[in-house]
Amino acid sequence: MIRRSDLLASLARCFAEAGLEAPEREARALLRAALGLSDLDLIVRGTEEVAERDAARLTALAQRRAAGEPFARLIGRREFWSLDFALTPETLVPRPETETLVEATLALFPDRAAPLRILDLGTGSGALLAALLSEYANAHGLAVDRSEGAARAARDNLVRLGLIARAQVMVGDWAQAIAARFDLVVSNPPYIAATDIAGLEVEVRDHDPRLALDGGPDGLDAYRAIARVLPRLLATGGRAVLELGIGQEHEVALLLADAGLPADGAARRDLAGIARALVTVPA
């Protein structure tokens, strides 16, 4: 048996030796998540002992984290827009910069009672659609993903969040099987150039699904596919909000303009100042 405080110190040393940026903070987070503890438990009950089985499990998780596996993968969950999402190997870990798309949408459609029809292309965990449905009480949405595993994960998350009554999930190659029109189309598509994937950080390269990363030779394949179908997907006055990779604003804007849906101005920037959410003019 080992005390919580000693185990915490051991995990922090492991993370420090691995070069993690905030070893003590990560150690606390892992201990809390794996054992269901609070910060108060760690502070005032640090001398309580941890069962050998739990200590061994935590040590194994720490070794995986030290080797570059994201914390969210270790615990199988990630928060996005203050909602909790379960992850699977087929889904990306939702990232804070993607919340820029939610913020852009709220600015475009300020009426939270609007009965929006929303399409989420490449839904992954369902994070974007779920965030939007949580904001628009009368909205209905369709989530599409090429991966059956990702579509299943999105549906499970929508069920658990109590949103499935206003949502449908389907497996499909972008919008090929969709005939309906929508007030809003959102997408966080794969946008990494295939030749750049090997140089990504290990947390992304080795643990995010390649299908959700690989944007083809120049990173723009998904945008080309989306631009081709957007004109028939958007209802009158409808808007599209697309996530961008770094440095892709100009190229994606040209693709949309060629499809008859130019950007409505400069892309919305994330908290790091990166052009992240490109919005089309009203259809």
Residue ranges for the known binding site are 122-126, 145, 174, 188-191
Q: Report DSSP state, residue 266.
A: S
The total number of residues shown for the chain amounts to 283
Q: CA-CA distance, 221 to 193, in Å (whole number)?
A: 9
Angle at 211 between CA 223 and CA 95, to 5 degrees: 75
Residue 283 one-letter amino acid? A
Coil/strand/helix, residue 259: coil
Q: Could you tell me the two tokens for 239?
A: 């808007």
Sheet containing 268-269, strands listed edge to edge, beginning at the edge strand earlier in sequence: 167-171, 140-145, 117-121, 182-187, 234-243, 275-279, 268-269
Residue ranges for the known binding site for S-adenosyl-L-methionine are 122-126, 145, 174, 188
Coil/strand/helix, residue 22: coil
Q: CA-CA distance, 282 to 241, in Å (whole number)?
A: 11
Q: Report DSSP state, residue 198.
A: G
Provide the greatest CA pair distance for the chain.
Answer: 66
Token pair 């631009």 is at which residue? 227
CB-CB contact of 129 with 158 (8 Å): yes
Residue ranges for the known binding site for substrate are 188-191
Q: CA-CA distance, 282 to 280, in Å (whole number)?
A: 6
Residues 6+ apart with CB under 8 A from 2: 10, 49, 50, 52, 55
